Structure 1
Amino acid sequence: MALGQKHEMLTSPNLFYCFVDFGKSLADQPKTWVVPSEIVAKSLREMHQDWLNTPGAKGQQRNDNALRRFMPEYRPLATYAMGWLDPYFENWSSLETASKESGHK
């Protein structure tokens, strides 16, 4: 999933991202990960910084840009191994919790 540089800093207790996998065919049930903005911002910063610090295919320094990739697996960092998003799968209750904590009904 491609996001912008601004998403590294865009956080709020009431801001969540819903990443939806629609599957490969119309028969597939959509799957949704409900991820707090703080988690998205932190992962974007860490994954992008690691990418910048890793030499390119020819050993060259990578050029920074505004593009950020949010990935379900980023192997160079153990924190983002396959399954790191599992706690956010269909995590709709986090929206209700955030709403109650902010005083919304």
Structure 2
Amino acid sequence: MYGSLFFWVIAGIPEPGSDYTFRYYIVPCNEMAHNVADRHQEWLSTPGKKGQQRKDSSVRAVAVEEGAAPYFWNVARYEGRWDLIDDALRD
């Protein structure tokens, strides 16, 4: 946690020559920290492919599309949410 004025900006950068556009996800720091930590604990508590206990690591993951593993926190609702930064700066 870095404070209320810290935001994660996750950028989707298309391949050169692609018809896709850049995509940005603006996520408040506190929401990212809590949700990623919660999903990581959920992942640790579920058995691996072969039923084994999972080992902890420093890797954390988020998803930007529907259909990702349930223990990836999905940030899709933050796409293009630059207004969150504007609002935080006005407070």
TM range (shorter): 0.7 to 0.9
* Corresponding residue for residue 60 of structure 2: 68
Kindly indicate whether the alpha-carbon contact (under 8 Å) linking 1:33 and 1:88 is maintained by their aligned counterparts in 2.
yes
2:88 pairs with 1:94: no
How many Å separate the matches in 2 of 1:11 and 1:51?
A: 24
Unpaired runs of 5+ residues, structure 2, are none
Alignment of 1:15-94 (within 5 A): 15-27=6-18, 28-72=20-64, 73=66, 74-76=68-70, 80=73, 84-94=74-84
- Give the number of equivalent residue pairs: 87
The sequence identity of aligned pairs, in percent, is 26
C-alpha RMSD over aligned residues:
2.0
| Aligned AA (1:33) | Y
Change (3 A) 1:94 1:63: same
Tell me the TM-score normalised to structure 2 length: 0.79
TM-score, normalization by structure 1 = 0.70
